[in-house]
Amino acid sequence: MHARFGPVRDCFHDLFANGRETGAGLTVWYDGQPVVDLIGGSRATAGADDGTGPAGGDPWRPDTLVNVYSVGKPVAALCLLMLVDREWVDLDAPATRYWPEFRTPATVRQMLSHTAGLPAFPVPRPATAIADWALLAGDLAAADPEWTPGSVAGEHAWTYGHLVGELVRRVDGRSVGRFLAEEIAGPWRLDLGFGLSEADQRRCADLRYGDPDWPTRALGEPGSLRARAMGNPAGGQDLAVLNSPLWRGAEMPAVNLHATASGLARLYSGLLAGGVLDGVRLFSPELVAEATRVEYDGPDLVLDRPVQWTLGMQREPDGSWGMGGLGGSSSWADPERGYTFAYVTAQLAEHDRVDELVEALHSVL
């Protein structure tokens, strides 16, 4: 690592020294090159069964995968956007053109920008439903929207991956996990995926709670739209589910991407370069521009704050685009400053760790 980025390394190490982090990876690319690539802590949790025990002795490795929650939403979106780029899918066509059973009068563009009106699965389902793609996609196809599509946004917290992923499956024939592996992750050499094999599951870090109250805070007020959007199917904040083969082997693309920081930073570097990485072009510059411009700017009914949504990402006032995930993982590109950033963590807590790392990074750019 170049000495210029020493403050970033020091900030990363401080997170472990003061007990705010127990297992994580951080990668930054600047001006088209990796300049920070750090790992620390442990993959496993020792002690308490509730995940609040101390980190165990199995060290975090460069190829350690971890669940990054909503950081995976743009990755799922890119699978569908690749089909848009190939002119197999029309952004402004009704979703029913490709998914005839789908009742909601939403366009593909509205699905991608969290304005389709289906932020929550309509039928309460147990954790075992995570592995039943047809059941959950069928629930969405039969659902009535909670608002007129296109009129307002609400993060499609658990549903997003099934909405865009079912369109991928209907048009291409492959699941979104297989499509990602064969069309994006393979050609760009990205260590990330949906629906992990048994071998890849053995590389996963166990998620753990930053404090025992984290699941309650994550879901919000009982009965709220946020709670409905993030609590069904059951188990999405339960360590017994999250660290199980059921979760790791299923495709829940809105929330269960498993990734390394280096894989995510590489992905955003390819996008920042206009769709080409190491000489391999996967997306046209026009598609990248379309995917990263603001589609919706206003209140988000699930997040309960103003949001700028692109076709799959959040855009910030400084022009950066990407996505943070529940629990603290985050990845994005900053075109103005010329960098991409990825932080992945097993310690489920708030995003203040990322805020401090970014402050250190910006101080040296």
Residues 174-219 have pLDDT tens digits of 999 999 999 999 999 999 999 999 999 999 999 999 988 888 888 8
Whether residue 49 is predicted with pLDDT greater than 90 in this model: the reply is no
pLDDT at 53 > cutoff 90: no
| pLDDT exceeds 80 at position 77 | yes
Contacts of 343 (CB under 8 A, 6+ apart): 24, 25, 26, 261, 328, 329, 330, 331, 353, 354, 357
- Strands, E, within 200-304: which ranges? 208-209, 258-259, 276-277, 280-281, 296-300
Active site residue 70: yes
Strand partners for 360:
none
Q: Is a pLDDT exceeding 90 seen at residue 47? A: no
Half-sphere exposure of 345 (CA within 13 A, CB side): 26
Query: CA neighbours within 13 Å on the CB side: how many for 3?
Result: 0
Between strands 330-334 and 321-324, the pairing is antiparallel
Instruction: With cut-offs at 50, 70 and 90, classify the pLDDT of residue 3.
Output: confident
Cα(133)–Cα(124) distance, rounded to whole angstroms?
A: 15
Q: Is 229 exposed, middle or buried (0-12, 13-18, 19+ CB in 10 A)?
A: buried
How far apart are the C-alpha atoms of 175 and 252, rounded to whole Å? 11
Which one of the listed residues 42, 70, 262, 331 is annotated catalytic?
70
Asked whether the predicted pLDDT for residue 293 surpasses 70, the reply is yes
Residues 6+ apart with CB under 8 A from 278: 188, 189
Is the pLDDT reported for residue 55 higher than 80?
no
Name every residue whose Cβ is closer than 8 Å to that of residue 288 and which is 6 or more positions away in sequence. Answer: 271, 274, 275
Model confidence at 48, pLDDT cuts 50, 70, 90, reads very low
| pLDDT tier for residue 221 given thresholds of 50, 70 and 90 | confident
CA proximity to 192, closest of 209, 206, 204: 204
Residues facing 321 on adjacent strands:
315, 333
At 51 the pLDDT is 52
Q: What secondary structure does DSSP assign to 150-199, as a single string?
A: TS-B---TTTHHHHHHHHHHHHHSS-HHHHIIIIIIHHHT--EESS--HH
Average pLDDT over residues 16-20: 96
Residue 86 has pLDDT above 90, yes or no: yes
Percent of the chain surpassing pLDDT 70: 97
Q: Mean pLDDT throughout 301-324?
A: 97
Predicted local confidence at residue 214, as pLDDT: 87
